[in-house]
């Protein structure tokens, strides 16, 4: 088992080392990455698509190639490369996450869960970091996730405004955090600000290649604003009544005249609760929302 672990780490060390170095690129070949054939749009796309076959190591390989070649591409090609890389990297991170607690990673996963900091775990984290992967601890277990700031740094202002706005907001959201161990770790007002940011984005860029993912997150955020999380409910347990901070926030939102979906949803919810003197409805809150005509996507990811 230990041999398998060190083999896995060695693979990552070679392919995802600092600066995204790869066994496929010696120092000499790296210096020549800008040759016409290697920097062709189709060659870069081919490498990115190969991530599905070779896993997270492919993120480092493609990132290095993109870094060397990005000035060769048109803006439209850069946007396409960004989209393809981000989506394939996301899938690779999900597959890698599934293997974190398999036999080959069992020892190091156990160390991580116990917050052991030694040469092995530090090297593991650094190597993942250079592949654009970050580890997130929740409920005593680590999950592997994409680190948006890795892609923000890689593409910078080389991509068009919609893509810059997307990755910049993703980076802000990831740094702020969201839910951890059932706790909402940002204030409800901050969550509302995030909802508005993404709603503005969707209104301005309805054809974004990331629109479906954005919608899913948006409705998840909106449902948490209305219902809360396991350990951060919107209703006071003792009083069985909407928390004062949310009464004030909902009231503030309901006075807006911007016509946004979030404004309409919160205003409707606020008026329903106000008619009950803000007492918590009986039974399941998501059912209450559905019975009162709210979008069925509310609570979709959070249920």
pLDDT tens, position by position, 76-119: 999 999 999 999 999 999 999 888 777 667 788 888 878 888 99
The yes-or-no verdict on residue 300 having pLDDT over 90 is: no
The yes-or-no verdict on residue 165 having pLDDT over 90 is: yes
Structure tokens at 153: 């740094």
Note whether 177 and 185 are within 8 A (CB): yes
Question: Which tens digit of pLDDT belongs to each residue from 57-83?
Answer: 899 999 999 999 999 999 999 999 999
Q: Which residues contact 7 (CB under 8 A, 6 or more apart)?
A: 104
For residues 260-284, give the mean pLDDT.
Answer: 93
Note whether 250 and 213 are within 8 A (CB): no
The yes-or-no verdict on residue 247 having pLDDT over 90 is: yes
State the pLDDT confidence band at 286, using cuts at 50, 70 and 90. confident
Please name the residue that has the structure tokens 């009544």.
241
pLDDT at 202: 97
- Give the DSSP H or E segment for 180: strand 179-180
- Burial of residue 31 (number of CB atoms within 10 Å: 0-12, 13-18, 19+): exposed
Structure tokens at 150: 């890795």
The yes-or-no verdict on residue 29 having pLDDT over 60 is: no
State the pLDDT confidence band at 146, using cuts at 50, 70 and 90. very high
Please name the residue that has the structure tokens 């190969």.
50
Structure tokens at 81: 């490369």
Going 9 to 15 to 16 to 21, the CA torsion angle's sign is positive
For residue 71, the 8-state DSSP code is G
- Cα gap 163→171, rounded to integer Å: 12
According to DSSP, the residues that pair with 143 across neighbouring strands are 136
Say which range, 127-136, 145-154, 220-229, has the weakest mean pLDDT. 127-136
For residue 89, which of 33, 28, 47 has the smallest C-alpha distance? Answer: 47
pLDDT at 303: 42
Per-residue H/E/C for 119-170? HHHHHHHHHHHCCCEEEEEECCEEEEEECHHHHHHHHHHHCCHHHHHHHHHH
Predicted structure pTM score: 0.84
For residue 189, which of 243, 138, 246, 104 has the smallest C-alpha distance? Answer: 246
Query: Which CA distances in Å does 221 have to 63, 157, 227, 240?
Result: 31, 28, 10, 22
pLDDT at 22: 36
Say which range, 1-5, 37-41, 156-160, has the weakest mean pLDDT. 1-5
Note whether 59 and 12 are within 8 A (CB): no
Local structure of 201: helix, strand or coil: helix
The yes-or-no verdict on residue 2 having pLDDT over 60 is: no
For residues 41-63, give the mean pLDDT.
Answer: 94
- Cα gap 172→194, rounded to integer Å: 10
What's the CA dihedral at 40, 46, 49, 50 to 10 degrees?
A: -130
Name which residue leads in pLDDT, 35 or 60. 60
Structure tokens at 123: 């090297």
pLDDT at 35: 54
Q: Which residues contact 101 (CB under 8 A, 6 or more apart)?
A: 109, 141
Between the ranges 120-124, 125-129, 218-222, where is the mean pLDDT highest? 218-222
According to DSSP, the residues that pair with 137 across neighbouring strands are 142
Structure tokens at 220: 């998840």
The yes-or-no verdict on residue 174 having pLDDT over 90 is: yes
pLDDT at 136: 82
According to DSSP, the residues that pair with 277 across neighbouring strands are none
Name the residue ranges covered by the structural domains of the chain.
2-156, 192-291
């Amino acid at each position: 088992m230990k041999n398998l672990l060190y083999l896995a780490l060695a693979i990552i060390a070679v392919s995802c080392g600092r600066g995204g170095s790869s066994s496929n690129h010696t120092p000499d070949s790296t210096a020549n990455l800008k040759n016409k054939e290697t920097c062709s749009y189709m060659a870069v796309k081919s490498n990115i698509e190969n991530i599905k076959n070779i896993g997270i190591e492919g993120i480092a390989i493609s990132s290095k190639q993109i870094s060397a070649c990005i000035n060769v591409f048109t803006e439209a090609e850069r946007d396409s490369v960004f989209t393809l890389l981000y989506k394939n990297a996301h899938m690779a991170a999900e597959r890698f996450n599934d293997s974190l607690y398999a036999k080959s990673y069992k020892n190091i996963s156990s160390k991580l869960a116990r917050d052991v900091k030694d040469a092995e775990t530090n090297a593991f984290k650094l190597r993942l970091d250079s592949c654009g992967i970050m580890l997130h601890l929740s409920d005593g277990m680590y999950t592997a996730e994409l680190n948006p700031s890795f892609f923000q740094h890689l593409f910078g202002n080389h991509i068009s405004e919609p893509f810059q706005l997307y990755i910049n907001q993703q980076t802000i959201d990831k740094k702020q955090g969201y839910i951890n161990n059932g706790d909402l770790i940002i204030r409800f007002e901050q969550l509302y600000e995030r909802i508005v940011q993404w709603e503005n984005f969707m209104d301005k860029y309805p054809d974004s290649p990331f629109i479906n993912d954005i919608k899913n997150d948006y409705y998840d955020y909106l449902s948490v604003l209305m219902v809360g999380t396991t350990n951060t409910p919107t209703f006071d347990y003792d009083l069985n009544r909407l928390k004062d901070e949310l009464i004030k926030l909902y009231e503030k939102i309901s006075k807006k005249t911007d016509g946004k979906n979030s404004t309409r949803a919160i205003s409707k919810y606020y008026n329903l609760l106000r008619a009950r003197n803000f007492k918590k409805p009986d039974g399941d809150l998501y059912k209450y929302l559905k019975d009162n005509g709210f979008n069925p996507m509310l609570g979709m990811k959070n249920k």
